[in-house]
Amino acid sequence: MAITGVEALLDMLSEFGVEYIFGNPGSTELPLNDALAIDDRFEYILGLQEVPVMAIADGYSMASRKLGVVNLHICCGLGNAMGMLYNAYREGTPLLVTAGQQDRRLMFEEPILGGDMVSVARPWTKWSVEVQRIQDLPSAIRRAARVALTPPTGPVFMALPVDLQMELADDLDLSPIKLIDNRVRPPQEALRQASALLLQASSPLILAGSRVNEAGGCEALVQLAELLGAPVISESGTTHGRLVIPPDHPLYIQGGLPLWSPDVLARLEPYDVVFVAGMDMLRQYIYHEPSCPIPEHVKLIHLDEDPWQIGKNYQPEVGLVGHTREGLEELVTLVRTGQDDTQRAKAEERSQQITAANQAARNQLDEEIDRQRGTTPLTPLCAMEAIARVLPAEVAVVEEAVTTTNTTLERLGALKTTTGYFGHRGWALGWGLGVSIGVQMAWPERPVIGILGEGAAMYGIQGLWTAARYQVPVTFVICNNAQYHILKLCARTLQLPQAQQGTFKGLDIVGPEIDFVSLARSLGVEAHRVEDADSLSDHIREGISSDKPLLLDVSISRGLGDRLNYG
């Protein structure tokens, strides 16, 4: 039986378990939308602009760990989506991003809308291709899914000419997509070397990144930390995407790595062996001296399924290439069986010291919040405490407001699981609002809260319409200080002369300020302006118990610190 290219695409995606297609259509994508009009195997999730479309798919895929399928308009639509594609690439999100291409019979004429999308998408994808023959389409789909979902995971791009989408063929090989079991442990000798180094360490440290979570290795990492009595520090704010240990665990050091190399150097100075797992080592933000943030005496052990990350910037004593969870589980076994009574006693002593230091830091944070209570507008700390006090254990938090959140929810121990946190890793703005929607679609049984800066929210604000259209009950919290706060702090960090005097150009969102309440309501989402902590807590309770989306425009103090601090 002859079928079209689009029908072949949909048949294979359905057989693979794809349920949603996230898209914003144009003329070269109409064959897909036409086919979907009578295909009840999929729900087409319409976004009004490509930024929220990509971000929603990103959130859905990160939460579900399934292949997210996106359909964009030809060159201009892909162009709009590139910032979110960059985010997905930095996160390693397994997305199949498709776009229509002009009719192959027109391409020699250099037609309107046509262009070389493969080259545009290639730097921020694992694979980028334009399918030229319908007979190659099934193989391209299988390859795309396999590449996207094989570690290191990431997005792929496929351009589909409009005439190929409509072309009929009766000899297509529609055999199903099959994935490869990628759970390969690191070499045994390297694991033994790593175990010996960790057992000999007098002051071990674990640096853990998002790929531990995404590989399902959190439980093994906690076991390793407890065996060693080693503190766990997460990635710095530039890459702090997922949690690797429950934030209320006594070995989790509050705040994560600092942003700047001198501060990282000082943070790592007390340790002699640093075990790095599932983390880019490092992605710095603004140049500082000394340029190397790793103390000379520190011996590094680095475990990752992505060999590119191991030794990329800093040479490890032992490199462990393999599946993160498998490697952690092997290390747990080797450390447990190799540990003697003296080493166990020292590990317990370290654990007690770290627990006491963490409790002291928590007490200090509580005291600072108490000092700031009653301040109007809300300080960032008091806003986060008002949210923290009402968060249910199963909540999922999506965060794109780094200068307001500043890891406060983690430092308060308000996030009770390793799954329920999504932080910005690519830093292309407009990400958080759409990701919140996608996470809620993947996890309809869990409440989802998106904590967003007002500037970042405006990059993808059209996503509110999608939340209203499909009744996705996210609670959006806009932390509104009417400025690009992080840029002011970065300008001071760079010691720019006018910034040092408090004079900024183009960094204030005033004259007029944005009326988020009216804007949200115009897009079909109920909204309220919030001025105090108790009201914020009450509205959060309302939002997480509702079956409809809600936006809260929260007035945040507009003061400016001397330096951007994280960790």
pLDDT at 566: 53
- Over 80: is that where the pLDDT of 567 sits? no
pLDDT at 561: 61
- Over 90: is that where the pLDDT of 516 sits? yes
Q: 100-130: per-residue pLDDT in tens?
A: 999 999 999 999 999 999 999 999 999 999 9
Are 71 and 99 within 8 A, CB to CB? yes
User: Which is more confident, 566 or 483?
Assistant: 483
pLDDT at 563: 53
Above pLDDT 70, what percent of the chain? 99
Residue 222's alpha-carbon distances to 216, 217, 326, in angstroms, are 12, 9, 14
Q: Average pLDDT of the chain?
A: 95
pLDDT at 342: 97
Q: Ramachandran region of residue 266, left (φ > 0), alpha (ψ -120 to 50) or beta?
A: alpha
pLDDT at 284: 87
- Over 80: is that where the pLDDT of 565 sits? no
Q: How many CB atoms lie within 10 A of CB 128?
A: 20
pLDDT at 285: 87
Are 300 and 276 within 8 A, CB to CB? yes
| 550-555 β-sheet, strand order | 421-423, 396-400, 448-453, 475-480, 550-555, 526-530
Cα separation, 26 vs 29, in Å, equals 5
SS (H, E, C) 92-132: CCCEEEEEEECCCCCHHHCCCCCCCHHHHHHHHCCEEEECC
Cα separation, 237 vs 78, in Å, equals 28
Residue 153, helix vs strand vs coil: coil
Mean pLDDT of 246-271: 93
- Over 80: is that where the pLDDT of 93 sits? yes
Mean pLDDT of 241-260: 92
Q: 29-65: per-residue pLDDT in tens?
A: 999 999 999 999 999 999 999 999 999 999 999 999 9
As given in the structure block, the two tokens for residue 553 are 């425009």
Mean pLDDT of 325-354: 97
Mean pLDDT of 398-417: 94
- Over 70: is that where the pLDDT of 553 sits? yes
pLDDT at 564: 55
**Angle at Cα 480 formed by Cα 416 and Cα 409, nearest 5°?**
15
- Over 60: is that where the pLDDT of 562 sits? no
Question: 182 Cβ partners below 8 Å, 6+ apart?
Answer: 150, 151, 305, 323
pLDDT at 1: 84
